[in-house]
Every structure is written in C-alpha cells, then in structure tokens.
C-alpha cells in the first residue's frame, strides 16, 4: 500500500472519530441541559408560559390594532413576540413540545404573522387547533 494513501486513510479515520465524539458530546450536553431545565421548574413552568401566550394570541390575533402594528419593535405585541422567542430558545422545550403536541413555540409566532397578513390559511387553522388541543384548560 502506498505510504500517502495510508496517511490519508489514517487522517480520515481520525477526523471521523473526532466528529463522532463531538456529536456524542453535543447529545450529552443537550441531555444535561434538559435535565437541569426539568429540575428547575420543568416543563410545567414553560407550559404555563406557553398557555398564557396562546391565550393572548387568541385575544389579539383579529384585533385592528394588531393588524395595523403587527410585531413592530415599539408596538404593544413586541413583548409577546420576545416571550415566544425565549421559549423557542429555552433548552429542550421546543423538542419537548414538538414530541407532545406536534408544534414548537415559533409556530405560534408564525401563526401570528399569518394573522397579521390577514390570511386564514389551512396551515394556520391547523396550528391553532394543535395549540388549542395541547393547552386546553
């Protein structure tokens, strides 16, 4: 076997091994973050916040003020938009919600953007139904 070929093969194997170890490390880090997250309020705290966001969305989605301002930075719905993004970014929550309800927090924001544009799409109706089923009181 040619010496250069063996060297390339060894480098490729080393690279593949380091990628695999890195991926396992990322999975372990996500699992650890999820464990820490669930031990500090768990999904119930995040679910309570998501439930509140869904209820607020139902109240403002058809309002003239929302149709006029949307999620503009200085508008009254900007804080709601930021709270949705915070839940989306919370480690493990989007995955948990997806596995339980087939939605992620950002789906609610996208439904709001759809409502802002005054389109009642089948997608939005489906997303609203999924959130309603998941967060019944």
7: which DSSP letter?
H
Mean pLDDT, rounded, for 8-14: 44
For the chain, the structural domain boundaries read 1-40, 42-137
Residues 50 and 44: their CA atoms lie apart, in Å, by 10
The string of pLDDT tens digits covering residues 55-110 is 999 999 999 999 999 999 989 999 999 999 999 999 999 999 999 999 999 999 99
Which residues touch 134 (CB under 8 Å, ≥6 apart)? 97, 100, 101, 103
Q: What is the pTM of this model?
A: 0.67
Residues 65 and 61: their CA atoms lie apart, in Å, by 9
| Residue of higher predicted confidence among 20 and 117 | 117
């Amino acid at each position: 076997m040619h010496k250069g070929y063996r060297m390339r093969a060894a480098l490729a194997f080393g690279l593949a091994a380091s990628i695999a170890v890195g991926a396992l490390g990322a999975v372990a880090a996500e699992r650890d973050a999820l464990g820490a997250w669930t031990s500090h309020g768990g999904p119930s705290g995040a679910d309570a916040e998501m439930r509140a966001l869904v209820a607020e969305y139902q109240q403002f989605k058809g309002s003239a003020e929302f149709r006029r301002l949307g999620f503009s930075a200085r508008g009254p719905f900007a804080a709601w938009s930021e709270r949705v993004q915070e839940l989306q970014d919370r480690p493990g929550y989007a995955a948990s919600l997806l596995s339980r309800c087939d939605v992620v927090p950002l789906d609610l924001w996208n439904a709001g953007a759809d409502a802002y544009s005054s389109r009642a799409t089948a997608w939005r109706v489906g997303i609203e139904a999924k959130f309603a089923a998941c967060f019944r009181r």
